[in-house]
Every structure is written in C-alpha cells, then in structure tokens.
Homo-oligomer: A and B are copies of this chain.
Amino acid sequence: MAQESIDEALSGDVSPADSGERPSYFLESLERGLNVLECFDAQHPVLTLSEVATRLGIPRATARRVLLTMTDLGYMAQDGRNFSLTPRVLSFGFSYLRNLPLPRVAQRHIEKLSLDLGEAVSVSILDGDRVVFISRTASPRLLNMAISVGTSFPAHATSSGKVLLANLSAERREAFLATTQLLPYTKDTVIDRAVLGRELDAARERDWAVSVGELEGGMLGAAAAIRTRSDTVLGAVTVELPATRYTGSELETILIPRLIECARAIAVDSLT
C-alpha cells in the first residue's frame, strides 16, 4: 500500500477534474476514451471530431486528443474529417465472449429450437440493470428484431430481464428495485416497484416470464431461466416476436414449454 501511494504521487497522471466528485484514483481521460468508443454505434458508424464533441458534450480539444490517440493506437481510422472504428475493437468483446462457457454450450441447443420454432432464439445474461445477449441464432424470418450478440436492453422491460432479476439474491433484488430508474418504454412498461416485485415473485416460481409490449409496442418477449441442479441461474433462453403470432393459451402450452426444455438441455450440458 505504501508503495502504491508513492507510485501514485509520482505518476502525476491526475487531471484537475479528478478533484471534483470522482474518487482520487479516477482517470477522466480513460472514461472519455471509452465514451468515445461507445458513441460510434449502429446509427453513427462515422463521426467527425465536432460530432463526437457535440454528442458527448465535451470540448473539441478533448475529443481531438481522444480520437488522435485512438487512431495512433489502431482502434480508430481517420479519413479526412471522418473517424470510424477499426476491426481492432473486436478484440475486447470477443476476448470476453471466448471466456464464457455458456455461449459455446448453448449454441447448438438454441439453433435446434430456432429451426423448430422458425424464430430467432437468444441467450442473455444480466449486467447490472440491463440484459445483454451473449448468443443468438440467425432469424429465418424477413421481419427481424435488430438484436445481435452484445445488444443490451433495460432488464425491467424484458422477459429475460424479469426471469434473471427474479433469481438474484434477496439483497441484490432489493437493491435493484430500490435504486434502478424504471423508465417507461411504452404505456405498458411496468414502472411500479410493487407490481414489478410481484411479477418477479411469479417469475421466480415458474422459471419463465413474458413481456408483452413493455419494451416495444406489439412485441412479445418470452424467456426461461437456465437453472442448474445446484440452483444457480446461468442465463435465460429468450424469443421475441410479434405479439400476434401466439394466443395467450398457445404461448403457455406451446412456446413456453419449448423454451423451458431448451433451457434445461443447456443447463445439463453446462454441468458436464
């Protein structure tokens, strides 16, 4: 610890902004760099320096330093005034994915279910207050949800989010319900903490959950928990489809049992 304090004093790498509400170790320029990386998204694959500065609300000079540093390091490509990401950024996400056994184990099971149902099937896990897709099949349908591995959604508005939140420890579940801002994405999004709590109770009991039009109008999500015999929930198997495709009773008699069956097969494989 003493050595760390000395190193820290010597490093001199503290920006003035650190003296604000951030802890003293906090590296502002690292945060800005990661924010810049994230601001190149599907809707904004190419951005100018000014656009990055505007989107993030940071000075042009700061945006410039981040973009030029990233370009030097090979994460960003510059073409005149335009900046875009390079394939090198793939190394982050995929080194993470390669370390998860779940996507490897799950893939053949969700591909089988996807063929049977004629729908895209996914596996998702919880990351804080969001669900993140870590496996997904290509959809055989023309009409497709714009979901790929890496896509994330607010947990409270999705079926997989409900089934995963339902299986948190009592402590973490309480913390989620107490602190998360429950934004309404449609008029049907459950934003009442007591109502959501009861939905989580039900999801915990059944090991499945649905979300009808809560993230997007007309869309139905259904998810089953991947639960091992030691009662650990590894993730959720989910489908999203137009709500008109199944009636309420078909949902419970046809779709949900298939999801549960797939989730169980993945859980069994995950133990071997």
Contacts and interface: CB of A to CB of B under 8 A. Distances in A.
Contact of A138 (B16, B86, B107, B132): B107
Interface stretch (A59-67, A177-185, A243-251): A59-67
Contact of A90 (B40, B85, B149): B149
Interface of A: 3-8, 10-13, 15-17, 23, 25-34, 37-38, 40-42, 45, 59-62, 64-66, 68-70, 72-75, 84-99, 107-108, 125, 127-128, 132, 134, 138, 148-152
B60 A3 contact: yes
A112 B134 CA distance: 24
A72 B45 CA distance: 26
Counting from the closest, the 9 A-B pairs by CB-CB distance are A94-B150, A93-B93, A7-B61, A90-B150, A45-B99, A30-B33, A8-B61, A87-B132, A90-B93
A92 B37 contact: yes
A237 to B, nearest CB: 17
Contact of A7 (B25, B62, B138, B148): B62
Q: Which of A13, A97, A148 has the most CB of B within 10 A?
A: A13
A21 to B, nearest CB: 12
A50 B128 CA distance: 26
A97 B10 CA distance: 40
Contacts of A74: 127-128
A66 B16 CA distance: 17
Given A30-B32, A94-B149, A108-B138, 10 more contacts: A5-B61, A25-B68, A27-B29, A33-B33, A85-B92, A85-B96, A85-B99, A86-B96, A88-B132, A90-B132
